[in-house]
Amino acid sequence: MARGKLELRRLEKIVHGFARARLLVVGDVMLDEYLWGDVERVSPEAPVPVVHVRRESHALGGAGNVVRNVVAMGARCSFCAVVGEDAAGDRIVDLLKDLGVDPAGVVRDEARPTTRKTRVEARAQQLLRYDRETDAAITGVSARRLLAATLRALADADGIVFEDYAKGVLARQVVRSVIRRCRERELFVAVDPKDTVAPYKGASLVKPNLRELEALTGLRVRSAADLARAVAKLQRQLGGADVVVTRGALGMALFAADRRALDVPSAPFEVFDVQGAGDTAIAALALARLAGGTLQEAAVIANAAAGVVVGKVGTATASPEEILAQLPRSLAAARAGEAGA
C-alpha cells in the first residue's frame, strides 16, 4: 500500500465529515448490564469478595455499541437486529429510542432470548461476568423479517457495517442477499467478523483482531511473515477486500485489496478498560472511509477513537471532539512508524 502524506488538517476535515454520513449497522445486539459497587470484605460462605452494590446501569452492547459510537461520532445511523420478546428486548428498544435511533429495524422473536451480559464492577475493575444468550442461527420468519428490514434501511444508507458476534443473527442467507444488493448499488460494506468470513465475500473492508484472524484462517501469527500469510489466506476467502488487523496497543496493520501492507502504530494511552474498543474502531474506520478518507487516514482516526474509549470504564463511546483532541498524538505515532519502517 502506498503511503500517503498524513496531515492533521486533512484528518480533522474527515472527522468533521462524519456528520454527513449515513451508516446502517446490522448484527448481534446485546444488553450490557452493570452492577457497580465496593468490596470491603470476603464472604464467610466462600473465599469470594462481597460486593456492596451501589448502583446499576444498562447500555447497548455488541452491534448496539457500534450504533452508540456511530451516533456519538455525529453520523446518522439506522439499525437492524433480532431480539427476544422479553424485558431485555424492551430495554434495547428503549435505549435505541433514547439515542434517537428508530427501532423499526429490530425484529422481535419470542422463541429466542435477548443476549444479556451482566458485569459486576468494583474498584474500577470487573470482578465477574455472567451471560444469558443463544447462538442458534435465526431461521424462517425472523430471517425473512430481518432481511426485509435491512433492505428497506439500505435505501437511505451510504454504507453498512456487519457486526458479527456469532450469536446467530447474521444468518448466511441474509448476509449474502444484503451484500448482493450493496454491490448492485456500489455501497461500502464493512465487516467485524467473529468466526467465519464465508458469507461476507464481496465486502469492502474486514476488521479482525489478531485472535480472530487466527481463528478465521487456522494459522498461528507470531511474526510479520505469519501475519501476511494469514491475511493473504483471508483475502482469498473474501475474493479481495481491504483487511485491517487491530493489534491492541500496537495499533493496526493494513492490507489493501492488492495485498500491499502498511503498519499504523497507535500512540500510548492510559488503559482502564479495552471492552468495546473494537466496536469503536469499526465505527470510526467505516465513517472515515465514507467521509472520503484513505485506508491509512481512516486507521489513524480509528486509533485515536480507540484511544479515547480505552481510557473509560465499561463499553464507551468517542465524540468528534474527543477524537479531534487525540488526533495529534495518533498522527505523531503514525508518522513515527513511517520513519522507522
Catalytically active residues are 279
Instruction: Give the DSSP letter of residue 246.
Output: E
Euclidean distance between CA atoms 93 and 98, whole angstroms: 9
Write phi, then psi, for 59 (nearest 5 degrees): -150, 155
Cα 225 to chain center, whole Å? 26
Query: What residue type is assigned to position 138 of the chain?
Result: I
Query: What residue type is assigned to position 276 of the chain?
Result: G
- Look up residue 25 and give its three cell numbers: 449497522
> What are the Cα distances from residue 6, in Å, to 3, 74, 194, 196?
9, 23, 31, 34
Strand partners, 129: 119
Strand partners, 242: 205
| Cβ-Cβ contacts under 8 Å for 254 (sequence gap 6 or more) | 1, 242, 243, 244, 261, 262, 263, 264, 295, 296, 299
Query: What residue type is assigned to position 105 of the chain?
Result: G
